[in-house]
Amino acid sequence: MKKFLEEFKAFALKGNVMDMAIGVIIGAAFGNIVTAFTEDFINPLIACIGGSEIGGRTEIFNTGQYINWGHFITAVINFLIMAFCIFLMMKAVNKLLTAGKKKAEEAPAAPPEPTKEEILLTEIRDLLKEKN
């Protein structure tokens, strides 16, 4: 049992698991921000421009059941905003990660040292040129 707990501790404290946990927490908080932005800013703007109620619903055949299409539109808008923000963040992170690599790649590689055979062949060539 002790070995099992040690393995679990090693797994749980790995960087990938901790990074993922932090990402989930920040993602949930960011989701709340996007939801508030959509409900408090985007929906009223859509209602003003289109003159329609974004929180609309339609009753189904007078049964007392409703289709909440306004809620669905809000969820789609939330998703699009989140996807766009994540795209921008990933683009920035990738740019930061590749910035250091480009500098290393820009430096030209030094030409390889000639082998002993190449040096001997060069000397033979030079000697033959001198004789002619």
Q: How many domains does the chain have?
A: 1
Q: How far apart are alpha carbons 114 and 82 in whole angstroms?
A: 56
pLDDT attached to residue 103? 62
- Asked if residue 123 is part of any domain, the answer here is no
CATH number for position 82: 1.10.1200.120
pLDDT attached to residue 52? 52
- Asked if residue 127 is part of any domain, the answer here is no
Per 3-state DSSP, what percentage of the chain is helix, strand, and coil (rounded to 5)? 75, 5, 20
pLDDT digits (tens, 9 = 90+) for 65-93: 878 777 777 778 778 887 887 788 778 87
Average pLDDT of the chain to the nearest whole number? 77
Statement: the pTM of the whole predicted model exceeds 0.85: no
The residue behind tokens 């049992």 is 1
pLDDT attached to residue 12? 67
- Asked if residue 71 is part of any domain, the answer here is yes
What token pair was written down for 51? Answer: 């003159």
Q: How far apart are alpha carbons 40 and 84 in whole angstroms?
A: 19
Instruction: Specify the 3-state DSSP secondary structure of 58.
Output: strand
- Whether 110 shows a pLDDT value over 80: the answer reads no
pLDDT digits (tens, 9 = 90+) for 120-132: 889 889 988 888 7
β-bridge partners, 58: 67
Instruction: Specify the 3-state DSSP secondary structure of 123.
Output: helix
pLDDT attached to residue 59? 77
pLDDT attached to residue 82? 77
- CA 71: distance to chain centroid? 28
By residue range, what is the domain housing residue 93?
2-109
- Asked if residue 126 is part of any domain, the answer here is no
pLDDT digits (tens, 9 = 90+) for 3-54: 888 887 777 666 676 777 777 888 888 888 888 887 787 777 766 765 555 5
- Asked if residue 102 is part of any domain, the answer here is yes
Percent of the chain past pLDDT 70, that is, above it, reads 81
Sign, CA dihedral 33-39-44-49, equals positive
